[in-house]
Chains A and B, each alone.
Chain A
């Protein structure tokens, strides 16, 4: 009950967030060192928490010495520990890219640390209202970060997110209020017991769940209330997109999973077909629409943004399926997808930073210029498709198997439908990933400087031909990708991208593959949580 690591994990980034602003009066470039120190410390604390959860402990801490259910409780179990590890790792790894790519300035780092603190809080809290507070901290810091490069487009995207995000958070708060009215408590575990007494059919309880799902659904960006998300991801500075895309929706999806299973429980979901069916229909639509819209995009960031709509559709579907295998899939995909998206947005950011390439057309033969960056992106994109062995495959596989199991168990069509939708979505994912890989590795044959076709067929009069051909290329095919003027050079690596960020990207790709081999280990890791939920 007195595990002090939990409040420390939240306090470190939150307290550190004040430093850049406070000390910024005297020192100009203090933001990055402070952020680096704070996130490193957080990573250490998170590692300690994970280690102790791995020993089988369930960490819990009563804030300020007030015992739950009155006081606020912080909890770490396998699920929250896994998300916490993701938060700590991504926030630390992103900093390397932030340092070179910006945005700069002390206030930005305050916002960054605030975001990290909020995410950590969302992960660890065991109290519904406290969850709202951290949700708002995350939301507000995200609004600020998105607009951090002060361009018009990002300001609009930020404003859009601000308005709908606030409405969404309010809906969540309203839902928590209803639940409080019905049970008189805010502590998650306590409310779980109280809800069972009140009865799952109680209108107040059901309305509460409806509002919480709607509110968190917006934060997760489920179709059709996803409209803020592609704008926000596309317009935000690259480094901001990297952390926001990897963590913010993930934390919200984690919150939905936590509220659905720890507070409302499987029995509540099983008690009402209408609730789960509605959620399945919406998530199915989300999976399809997200995949189709992603396949239609040419801007890389927007493409992966829509892809997130589809992937989180799968997680919400797995939550609504209320099946043990599917829930394992949801937990795996939550972490795995966060990791994959971190890598993908980082890679896209690196290509933009080193080569000024932001759209599919700009990427001709980029694999020749930047083999490591392109290779890592390719690996991560294939993991996103769900090619084994990768963590993306595991998550999708478990969700799909769980969906089929559900259908076999109750004879309903919903599970099979979700499995079919996941399959179709995989095809769409494959289609846009294939476009990307085609650009990386095959496009640009015959461009000047290409080795495949000699630019000059024979000597003598070929000068005109070459000129004519160049002209044709300029009109019909994309120009060959080339590094921007002051792109960094790394000895021994052809990629003209920042080395530390490249290392993080390669590491992300390797971890995504390594986790793919750890299917049994992951199932083992989440097993205590699943047994508790499906007891």
Chain B
């Protein structure tokens, strides 16, 4: 390790980011954003530089008497650091170009800081600390916008508070069994904590039925805030999922498959662009989890596929949020049916959108094509439930999700940029918005073409690029597959446009049930507690009243009980009592 690397390993990037967050508030807007961009760029650069021999458990110390590692650098945390640092830089530029209030950027920076802390945590204790901090800071980022974001942010906070508590329970169970918090000491989380960890992390991953916070929250805050939000919480959750279950499991893989279909299907029904993209977060998470889930069944190839997809998703998902954000920023319209024909008015945004959509739908030449292909290849080896074309259920789920993705992005693009003539004539993206988008979009194209660079950043590089593994993304079968998906997407969208429009008004998500259920459950429990308390209060006050009356009228009380006697102890009775007491004492003490 060189001296420079040694120096770098002693600076935890989240501290730099937290300081930058304060600087954003303290400095003028331009200087503050420059400081923020420098801090995120530092995070990126540090991760790149540490890739050359900087791995290890740095800043290992003791906290409350437990061994902890504050800066754990390995292949996985490094690739997260690279992409988070890179994207955060682009997002800061974008935020500057979108007139984001300094508070938004400051909250976003502190949110990025806690994300980076989670990524570089080397033990479960540090991880859960930053995990909870992420929930708090992202809630603040949502709340900052006010209005409808406040209620959504409250629901968001409830979800993540519960999820964080469950994960905390998992960590406690893990420690009780394993006796240590350190990642290095165990393979993933202890089996006893499996369910707790899966649910706790799963809430952040957007597991089906635990996902409703995603489309609920992300469309509501500032468009720049959405860019930050869309990337960090869910992707960090996928990363933590791998930390917890490095050996995967078929349950995780199939859950991923279901998420891909579910998310893509509901995305198809949306007309709010950011809400549509939010459902796709769930679908894309499905691909990553499918990759991680096959870690044992298929091997390192699947894990690499999952991580590559995670890496690429960070780039193109934020790119899409940026492009959509520009449209919303310029038009103020949040319903794609009210847009249309914008490709003439906003050519830059349109091109950027095309890059993002091509990436997420896995068009050859874009990065999504590489990583989704890896996951699909892995899933192709799963045959425990075989369906058509000699392919397993998992593969079909993922392919179906892919078709749904195609359809929904054709829909999004169609409504926003074509769909009749332009009724709006907004300006195109601002220079800094463009800068941010070009950074993210350029990376999408770069890794789609020079895919070995992507693999270089991934773990298990030698294995993937070796001759053992036949890794040829631009093989004929992959290209055919992609073309089939594309055709299916176009045909599907224009054939099903009307039924989908009908479904969009009649197909509620689970939140139609869960939110009222939670609301009335909460109400009922409050009513129950209040009424129970009132009942206790009445009973106690009644009892006190009765006792008080008895105390005030002892003779009468006795009389009602049928006893009519003097109850005061006079002199004679006192002496009698004393004699009896002495007699009893004598009897007992002597004869015992």
Chain A residues with CB under 8 Å of chain B are 159-160, 163-164, 167-168, 171, 203, 206-207, 209-211, 213-215, 217-218, 224-225, 227-228, 272-275, 278, 295-298, 431
Contacts and interface: CB of A to CB of B under 8 A. Distances in A.
B582 interface: yes
Interface in B533-592: 544, 547-548, 550-552, 554, 569-571, 573-575, 577-579, 581-582, 584-586, 588-590, 592
Contact of A210 (B544, B547, B554, B589): B589
Contact of B570 (A160, A209, A297): A160
A227 B569 contact: yes
Residue of A227, A278, A431 contacting most chain B CB atoms (<10 Å): A227
Q: Nearest 3 A-B pairs (CB), nearest first? A: A274-B592, A296-B551, A227-B569
B589 A297 contact: no
A312 to B, nearest CB: 15
Contact of B575 (A167, A211, A215, A297): A167
Contacts of B585: 210-211, 213-214, 278
Nearest to A162: B571
Contacts of A163: 571, 574-575
A298 B553 CA distance: 12
Given A214-B578, A296-B547, A164 B588 contact: no
Interface string B236-260: 0000000000000000000000000
B574 A160 contact: yes
Contacts of B582: 171, 210-211, 214-215
Nearest to A227: B569
Contacts of B586: 207, 210-211, 214
Nearest to B582: A214
A389 to B, nearest CB: 29
Given A160-B570, A214-B578, A214-B582, A296 B550 contact: yes
Contacts of B584: 278
A227 B573 contact: yes
B541 to A, nearest CB: 12
Nearest to A208: B589
Interface residues of B, number: 25
A209 B589 contact: yes
5 contacts: A163-B575, A171-B582, A207-B586, A210-B585, A227-B569
A217 B585 CA distance: 11
Contacts of B554: 296
B590 A203 contact: yes
Given A160-B574, A274-B592, 11 more contacts: A160-B570, A163-B571, A164-B571, A167-B578, A214-B586, A217-B581, A225-B581, A227-B577, A295-B547, A296-B551, A298-B551
Interface in B148-165: none
B592 to A, nearest CB: 3
Contacts of A215: 582
B571 A272 contact: no
Interface in B351-377: none
A443 to B, nearest CB: 15
A224 B577 contact: yes
Residue of B552, B582, B592 contacting most chain A CB atoms (<10 Å): B582
A267 to B, nearest CB: 15
Contacts of A206: 589-590, 592
A173 to B, nearest CB: 12
A225 B574 contact: yes
Given A163-B575, A227-B569, A296-B547, A207 B590 contact: yes
Contacts of B581: 214, 217-218, 224-225
Contact of B578 (A168, A207, A209, A210): A168
A272 B574 contact: no
Nearest to A292: B547
Residue of A168, A214, A275 contacting most chain B CB atoms (<10 Å): A214
Contacts of A210: 582, 585-586, 588-590
A271 to B, nearest CB: 10
Contacts of A213: 585, 589
Residue of B548, B570, B571, B574 contacting most chain A CB atoms (<10 Å): B574
B575 A164 contact: yes
Given A160-B570, A160-B571, A210-B582, A225 B588 contact: no
Contacts of B547: 295-296
A227 B574 contact: yes
Contacts of B589: 206-207, 209-210, 213, 272, 274-275, 278
B578 A275 contact: no
Nearest to B572: A163
B592 A228 contact: no
A10 to B, nearest CB: 29
B575 A273 contact: no
A228 B588 contact: no
A159 B574 CA distance: 12
A297 B574 contact: no
Contacts of B571: 159-160, 163-164
Contacts of A218: 578, 581
Given A206-B590, A274-B589, A278-B585, A228 B574 contact: yes
Contacts of B570: 160
A278 B574 contact: no
Contacts of A227: 569, 573-574, 577
Contacts of B590: 203, 206-207, 210
Interface in B442-484: none
A166 B581 CA distance: 15
B542 to A, nearest CB: 15
A225 B573 CA distance: 10
B479 to A, nearest CB: 78
Nearest to B550: A296
Residue of A210, A213, A297 contacting most chain B CB atoms (<10 Å): A210
B592 A273 contact: yes
A431 to B, nearest CB: 8
B300 to A, nearest CB: 58
B577 to A, nearest CB: 5
A296 B553 CA distance: 10
Contacts of A224: 577, 581
A320 to B, nearest CB: 12
B537 to A, nearest CB: 15
A215 B583 CA distance: 11
A275 B575 contact: no
Contacts of A209: 589
B578 A225 contact: yes
B119 to A, nearest CB: 47
A268 to B, nearest CB: 11
B346 to A, nearest CB: 67
Nearest to A275: B589
Contact of B592 (A164, A275, A298): A275
Nearest to B552: A298
A159 B585 CA distance: 26
A283 to B, nearest CB: 13
A235 to B, nearest CB: 13
Nearest to A230: B569
